[in-house]
Amino acid sequence: MTSIRTRAGLLARTAIAAGCCLVLSSAVVGAALLLVAVPVYAGTRYGVETLSSPAFRPDTDAGLLAEPLAGAFVVAIAVTCLVAVELSLRTVRTARERGAPAGALAQGAVELASYVLLLSSLLLALAVLPFLRSTLPEPAFALLVLFGSFYLLTVGYAWAAHEWLRSRDADDERTTGGGYLVIGVFAVGYLSAAYWSGFGWLVVVALGWLVLGSVLAPDHVDRVRDAVERRAAESAEEEPVDPDDVYGFTDEVERIRARLRRARGPRPAVLAAVGALVVLGGGYWAATRVSTGALAASLAAVSAVSLVGVHAGGAIRAEFAGDTAVLRELEGRFDLEALAAGEPADRTVGASGPADAEPTRSSLASVVTRLAGQADLPAPEIRVLERDTPVALTVGYRPAASTLVLSRGLIETLERRELEAVVAHELAHVANRDAAVLTALSAPGAVARLSRSRYGYNPVVAPLAASVRLASRWYVALVARGREYAADDGAVAITGDPAALAGALETLDDDLERRPTTDLRERDTAAAFAIVPPPWEEHPFFDRTRRFVARTIFGTHPPTKTRVDRLRTRV
């Protein structure tokens, strides 16, 4: 009866967490769609109305362009700008993955997009305020307005500047030229708002030149980029970045063209020409049949679905291809070394065990393979974390595509029997599908954290990502706490040695008490996969409340002592 009740409770927790994960992911996607659609809609409508307005030709009643031609022209410009932003995002992401400085032009386009999102969020807030005022009680509405004002004044500007400066460290591949281009974007925005709206076309023309120039004259674009970097470095009295080290916009365009050339099908130039004709022809056809508002709304919807769909689809594809967000986050912050069977031994595994029981580092793969066979599982890929803190975790959606991560500290701290017990515990997570469930539930939080490391600070994305990580921590912890006991039982079933697992838990818990508190498992996306919880550091203020929040609300593991006592009773 107890087992049935436990299984039912675990199933209920999993269902609640899955529902929360689905709602959270849907809310994030919906917010992203709105944030992208609003500026596209406003820009398209403004552009068509401006070009077809008689204001440009006061001597006649006709505008600069007929409305259908203006619609086709604005649609083509909007698509070009969106392509420039998307390629810039890809450039910055690829540069950071390669550990190279991103080009100033790509950085400027990404920063421009981030502050367009900020403007979009303000427009959405202004549109929603009348509805909220009519539905919320007066005190609640006043608090909401106060909070919004606080965000705009403090977070949106002071905190944004602070975070931007903090992000310019060794891990953030920014260049001085990128910062100067951001200042230029702000200057153009100010001139557009204060003097003449036509200044805004400078940004549009620059984005169009960036795309067309990278295709038609990449050397010219690179020369402009290098000149911006050189002038910015001279003004800041810094050493200019080496152009050969920079991964720029034209490099990303060439990478895409090379992939298209390798693929079967039309040549890249033919695809580009066909795409341009489709955009121009489709824009003209739509402008002759629908109103300007409908045209702007349609383009906004298609653009938002395309951009968000590309990024969301890429994240989902990477997850199920085995490149999970949790693993990418670990790889981004720590050295994860693949361990292959037959690898030369340069260290010992279980070095504190008996001399005749010391397997070499290369034999770790054999140990994992043997235990996986006993559990009737395919052997997972093994990654060694170059970290002294003892860590063991398993991620992956399928047993055949799981990855076991063991830290150097754990391998060298535990005896062989204890190490085998820990590996068996992680394999039990795979057999029980815990690794798949927790990997899926942790994905939104991991992707939110990766958004900062990939694209830098964004005044809209950062608060949204923080909210996603907080919610993700709660429902992941809700499920993770109930699965540790089952994994302990599974490890005992595989090894038949409960004392070894109890000894391993005690050793790891004692060892962590001596380690610095800033260890890997304090990260919310990885804590659920660790084998023991991080040690508690007492605080001078509100320690009991903090401990309740950390251990009860966001805690991913039962108390280690309880688990050890439970295993001791089975010896």
The catalytic site residues sit at: 426
Q: What six digits make up the tokens of 511?
A: 């060892």
For tokens 């594809």, the residue is 317
Question: Are 336 and 408 contacting, i.e. CB atoms less than 8 angstroms apart?
Answer: no
d(CA 382, CA 554): 28
Angle at CA of residue 535, ends 530 and 538, nearest 5°: 150
- Tell me phi and psi for residue 381, to 5 degrees: -70, 145
Using the structure block, give the residue that is written with the tokens 């955009």: 279
347 token code pair: 């260290």
Phi and psi (nearest 5°) for 395? Answer: -130, 160
Q: In which order are the strands placed within the sheet that holds 381-385?
A: 336-339, 381-385, 403-407, 392-395
Show the DSSP H helices in 432-533 as ranges.
Answer: 434-455, 461-480, 484-495, 498-514, 524-527
Alpha-carbon span 135 to 224, nearest angstrom? 53
Single-letter code of the amino acid located at 536: W
- 477 phi and psi angles, rounded to 5 deg: -65, -35
Do the beta carbons of residue 406 and residue 385 sit within 8 Å? yes
The amino acid present at 119, given as its one-letter code, is L
Contact 310, 86 (CB under 8 A): yes
